Amino acid sequence: MSDNWIALNQSRINKILINFFNSQDNNSILHNACSYSVLNGGKRIRSLLVYAVGSIANTDIKILDQIAITFELIHAYSLIHDDLPSMDDDNLRRGKETCHIKYNEAQAILAGDALQARAFELLSSPEFKLSISKKISIINILSRAIGGAGMVLGQSEDIESINCSPDLKYLEELQELKTGLLIQAACEISYLTAKKIDKKTQKLVKKIGLLIGRIYQITDDILDYESNTITLGKTAGKDKKDNKVTYVSLIGLKKSKERNSSYFSELKKCVEALPSNSKNMMTLINYIYSRAY
């Protein structure tokens, strides 16, 4: 059954997202740009993390669904803005036109803004069946992860790193901000929904999120160097072309793979130390580590 767990939960969140957008009686360009960007495929890694950690926390699946939607909206917003001409300037995302190419730059910016606001609207909604105190904690964790001390700062520093010579420590910090903190937040928030919080497990879950974020970004750097545009669904080799600092540019392909393997070994030990229901998480981390796009 674990072999099917990823496909089943990807299908689950995709259906939920389709219903989410179809339920809105809205045919504006803004609505279409939002739904286009969220529903254009993707591995749904953050949703899968929500469900995997949620199974450890024994959380009601309907609560996890709401959190999963939230992370997909936030992630789509970040990708829309990341692809803009003033940022990474990419025409392809998941093998399709990026939002600003499909619509236009102004609508893409607004779509990102709308998706971010909608995510926080969902978390603060009466339909999200958690206590007020837990809702506030969740909103606080997420807003810190994506704001001026998190993902947005990472994007800013990523832009400034072009054509300069930062060291490995700088790169690790940059990528943790840009990618890692949102992944860690998906794990941390999902465990926060547990009826009884075990401090040791909570600490493990946060570390698991941190390590997954590192592995995800190093793998991205390796794939940008080794893979092709058709497989990736986005422009391959773009980091090198744009003189962007990556693990591969700093320490080379071989050492990047060795570092990734080392992080994965540490990650497996953390998952094995979880008290229960860790089978889905082990399936997921193997999927993340061995991904080809």
| Percent with pLDDT over 70 in the chain | 99
What is the structure's pLDDT at 3? Answer: 64
| pLDDT beyond 70 at 2 | no
| pLDDT beyond 60 at 31 | yes
Report the phi/psi class of residue 84: left, alpha or beta, with left for phi > 0 and alpha for psi in -120 to 50: beta
What is d(CA 225, CA 223) in angstroms, rounded to the nearest whole number? Answer: 5
| pLDDT beyond 90 at 225 | no
Confidence of residue 277 (pLDDT cuts 50, 70, 90): confident
Q: In a 10 Å sphere around its CB, with 0-12 CB exposed, 13-18 middle and 19+ buried, how is residue 248 labelled?
A: buried
- The mean predicted confidence, pLDDT, of the chain is 93
Q: In a 10 Å sphere around its CB, with 0-12 CB exposed, 13-18 middle and 19+ buried, how is residue 170 labelled?
A: middle
What is the structure's pLDDT at 292? Answer: 75
For the chain, what is the HEC assignment? CHHHHHHHHHHHHHHHHHHHHHCCCCCCHHHHHHHHHHCCCCCCHHHHHHHHHHHHHCCCHHHHHHHHHHHHHHHHHHHHHHCCCCCCCCCEECCEECHHHHCCHHHHHHHHHHHHHHHHHHHCCCCCCCCHHHHHHHHHHHHHHHCCCCHHHHHHHHHHCCCCCCCHHHHHHHHHHHHHHHHHHHHHHHHHCCCCCCHHHHHHHHHHHHHHHHHHHHHHHHHHHHCCHHHHCCCCCHHHHCCCCCHHHHHHHHHHHHHHHHHHHHHHHHHHCCCCCCHHHHHHHHHHHCCCC
| Percent with pLDDT over 90 in the chain | 80
Q: Could you tell me if 24 and 79 are in contact, meaning their C-beta atoms sit under 8 angstroms apart?
A: no
Give this prediction's pTM: 0.93
What is d(CA 73, CA 69) in angstroms, rounded to the nearest whole number? Answer: 6
Mean pLDDT of 19-23: 94
- Domain extent listing, the chain: 2-289
Per the model's pLDDT, the better-predicted residue between 41 and 73 turns out to be 73
Tokens of 293: 């796009």
What is the structure's pLDDT at 120? Answer: 98
Chain position carrying tokens 């998906």: 186
Number of C-beta neighbours around residue 137 at 10 A? 15
Confidence of residue 1 (pLDDT cuts 50, 70, 90): very low
Confidence of residue 139 (pLDDT cuts 50, 70, 90): very high
Tokens of 267: 């990650």
Confidence of residue 166 (pLDDT cuts 50, 70, 90): confident
pLDDT (tens digit, 9 = 90+) per residue, 179-205?
Answer: 999 999 999 999 999 999 999 999 999
| pLDDT beyond 60 at 209 | yes
| pLDDT beyond 50 at 160 | yes
What is the structure's pLDDT at 260? Answer: 96
Confidence of residue 27 (pLDDT cuts 50, 70, 90): confident
Judge: domain 2-289, CATH 1.10.600.10.
Answer: yes
pLDDT (tens digit, 9 = 90+) per residue, 80-111?
Answer: 999 999 999 999 998 899 999 999 999 999 99
Q: Could you tell me if 99 and 80 are in contact, meaning their C-beta atoms sit under 8 angstroms apart?
A: yes
What residues contact residue 271 under an 8 Å CB cut-off, 6+ apart? 208, 278, 281, 282, 285
